[in-house]
Structure 1
Amino acid sequence: MSSKFQLWSQQLQQKVELAKSLYRDFRIYDFGSLALNRLTPKKGYSIQSNIAYGLKARHRLDLYRTEQPRQKRPLIVFVHGGAWMHGDKKDYGFIGEAFAKEGFDVAVINYQLAPEHIFPASIDDLSLALNYLTQSQHKLQIELEDLVLMGHSAGAFNVMSALYHPQPYQLQIRENIRAIVGLAGPYHFDYKGDPICAEAFDQDVPYQQVMPYYFVESNKVKHYLFTAANDDIVGVNNSEDLDRQLKALGNHSQLIEIPRVGHITMIGSVSSLFSRFFKTKAEIMRVLDEISPKV
């Protein structure tokens, strides 16, 4: 056996072991999210579940309506992560509660998953959901004057790609998007052969034709790029690269590092059960209040 083949075999095995480890982490998170949602307080908001925004089975969203007094009720659209291959809105009730209790309405969306539906299917679905919310705002009794797009991991990529995409989307609500909050987002990486998410992308298409980093344009949207200090899945360079690109074109961008959290625990730390122990929610609330101050 040649030394070159041995090296290749070792690298392949390392990638396989990493993929197994991360898959196990996602399954652990699933278990944790069940506990989070079961223990999440049910007061201060109401839920309208499984609203159809399109014709496919996963074209569904849950709408968390705040019952807190606030002059305005900005809408947060939250998109979950899971390497574009995993995840469900039902696992993120704690996200709806965390911000509904602060006076925001929150739409948590599902989207079609890989490997059956590869890029750009998830971005197509987000665009469809945003246009549905725009067309149905009176029926749903939501306010879209100050819209915030928020996503974790793959979801952060999705919300960023809704604006920065090789073929720009016709978003009816584009001018009302005040901010994008990206939590540990992969905005600039080569997915070819990636052990976690290779099946979510066409391997014959170079990443330079996909990553939102390459399609940034000037606008008035505020960008908040959160990174996890202990992230061993998505490199901090993703956010640093995008931050530089945004600023180079005159856009608003802030890099915000959250200490003592990893890639998956970052999103769990937003839960009302844990938010007082971590800075994640407090920092998100700081930027949300910059966009739409409480009165």
Structure 2
Amino acid sequence: MARALVVSLVSGLLAACSGQFWANALTPRWGYDRHADIAYADGDRQRLDVYVPDRLAAGAPVVVFFYGGSWQDGDKAGYRFVGQALASRGFIAVLPDYRLYPPARFPAFVEDGARAVAWALEHAADYGGDPGHLFVAGHSAGAHIAAMLAADRRYLAAAGASVGDLAGLVGMAGPYDFLPIEDPVLQAIFAPRAAWARTQPIHFVTGEAPPMLLMHGAADRTVAPENSRNMASRVNDRGGEARLKIYPETTHVGLIAPLAAPLRLAGNQLDDITDFVTKVVSDRNR
């Protein structure tokens, strides 16, 4: 009951306009170096930040994290709390901006995600990371981008990389199986209707996808938990590996809230991500 109350409170905090500001304002500025506004392509929205832990182990895992915002909103500067969270666990975190609607429409933001991953693969070693242990991750719309990169081979291939370069996927409250699209704005973002099937990560699942951790709040009213349940079931049915983690009484924003340093008592999400990345890296090193 106490944890549910904390989750409810922090969800409301981060959902408010000022919530993200305070989460970042209270994020420690020590323990890592932030390398900001690095171009991975030529556009204004095609820049990224890299968070490097002060105590960096040799061959550290790299996590490319895409934030959410309904493919219409968001800025990497607002997710410093995520970069710090991942760096606090010894991971190199890469947080890209990407093109948004309007004017961008599907698949522009997925193509940007692929370019950011290709950049991370090329430059991971420059920051002490291991490109052989590179993960894609994201929350909400960002989890959709990460899942499209892990499931549909065309995007990374077009950027000069490969799905085989990915060690794993961490999806938080991701929309992977959301047809039919009923919201008029989303219909415009994913137009034309005749091609909606190619916008759904679940339609590209094969047993060759990298291991996945799919996280979702049971009380999510923004992206239905069935998205993660269906995705996990499809991956496992096709011979892949997907771990499904449903968090009781947790909302859409409440799922990511405990990554913020002052809110980590609200949930085990950062521990779950750490355990997944660590195990995948260990398995790959055998």
TM-score category, normalised to shorter length: 0.7 to 0.9
Q: Identify the match of residue 132 of structure 1 among 108, 119, 134.
A: 119
In the alignment, structure 1 residue 201 sits paired with structure 2 residue 190? yes
Aligned to 1:61, the other structure's residue is in SS state strand
Distance 1:50 1:256 in 2: 33
The code of the aligned residue for 2:203 comes to Y
Does the Cα contact within 8 Å between 1:26 and 1:82 map onto a contact in 2?
Answer: no
Structure 2 equivalent of residue 284 of structure 1: 273
Structure 2 equivalent of residue 17 of structure 1: none
Does the Cα contact within 8 Å between 1:95 and 1:270 map onto a contact in 2?
Answer: yes
* Aligned residue runs from structure 1 range 259-270, under 5 A: 259-270=248-259
**Residue-by-residue CA offset, 1:210-231 (whole Å, 9 max, x unaligned):** 2011111222611111011210
| CA RMSD, 1 decimal | 2.1
Does the Cα contact within 8 Å between 1:75 and 1:105 map onto a contact in 2?
Answer: yes
Structure 2 equivalent of residue 244 of structure 1: 233
Q: Identify the match of residue 230 of structure 1 among 219, 224, 232.
A: 219
Taking structure 1 as the reference length, the TM-score comes to: 0.85
5+ residue gaps in structure 1?
1-24
Taking structure 2 as the reference length, the TM-score comes to: 0.87
* Aligned residue runs from structure 1 range 75-114, under 5 A: 75-114=62-101
Percent identical: 26
Does the Cα contact within 8 Å between 2:221 and 2:252 map onto a contact in 1?
Answer: yes
Aligned to 1:90, the other structure's residue is in SS state helix
Q: 1:84 to 1:243 in 2, by over 3 A?
A: same
Structure possessing the higher radius of gyration over alpha carbons: 1
Structure 2 equivalent of residue 6 of structure 1: none
Q: Identify the match of residue 47 of structure 1 among 34, 59, 62.
A: 34
Aligned-pair CA distance for 1:139: 4.2
Aligned-pair CA distance for 1:117: 0.5
**Residue-by-residue CA offset, 1:185-211 (whole Å, 9 max, x unaligned):** 000112533156333211433422320
Distance 1:136 1:280 in 2: 28
Distance 2:78 2:243 in 1: 28
Say which is worse superposed, 192-201 or 82-91, in terms of deviation. 192-201
Distance 2:155 2:65 in 1: 20
Q: 1:147 to 1:137 in 2, by over 3 A?
A: closer
**Residue-by-residue CA offset, 1:115-174 (whole Å, 9 max, x unaligned):** 311100011001111112223344444321211111000100100101323845315253
Aligned-pair CA distance for 1:269: 1.6
Aligned-pair CA distance for 1:62: 0.4
Distance 2:175 2:13 in 1: 17
Does the Cα contact within 8 Å between 1:29 and 1:264 map onto a contact in 2?
Answer: no
Distance 1:177 1:132 in 2: 13
The code of the aligned residue for 1:186 comes to P
The code of the aligned residue for 2:19 comes to G
Aligned-pair CA distance for 1:272: 1.6
Aligned to 2:82, the other structure's residue is in SS state helix
Does the Cα contact within 8 Å between 2:62 and 2:124 map onto a contact in 1?
Answer: no
Q: 1:167 to 1:191 in 2, by over 3 A?
A: farther
Say which is worse superposed, 249-258 or 163-172, in terms of deviation. 163-172
Aligned to 1:169, the other structure's residue is in SS state helix
**Residue-by-residue CA offset, 1:49-91 (whole Å, 9 max, x unaligned):** 0000001110000000011243431100000001100111111
- Asked which structure has the greater RCO (Cα within 8 Å, sep 6+), the reply is 2
Structure with the higher helix share, 1 or 2: 2
The code of the aligned residue for 1:91 comes to G
Q: 1:238 to 1:35 in 2, by over 3 A?
A: same
Aligned residues: 269
Does the Cα contact within 8 Å between 1:85 and 1:115 map onto a contact in 2?
Answer: yes
Structure 1 equivalent of residue 172 of structure 2: 183
Does the Cα contact within 8 Å between 1:180 and 1:224 map onto a contact in 2?
Answer: yes
Q: 1:33 to 1:264 in 2, by over 3 A?
A: same
Structure 2 equivalent of residue 253 of structure 1: 242
Distance 2:264 2:249 in 1: 12
Distance 2:256 2:111 in 1: 24
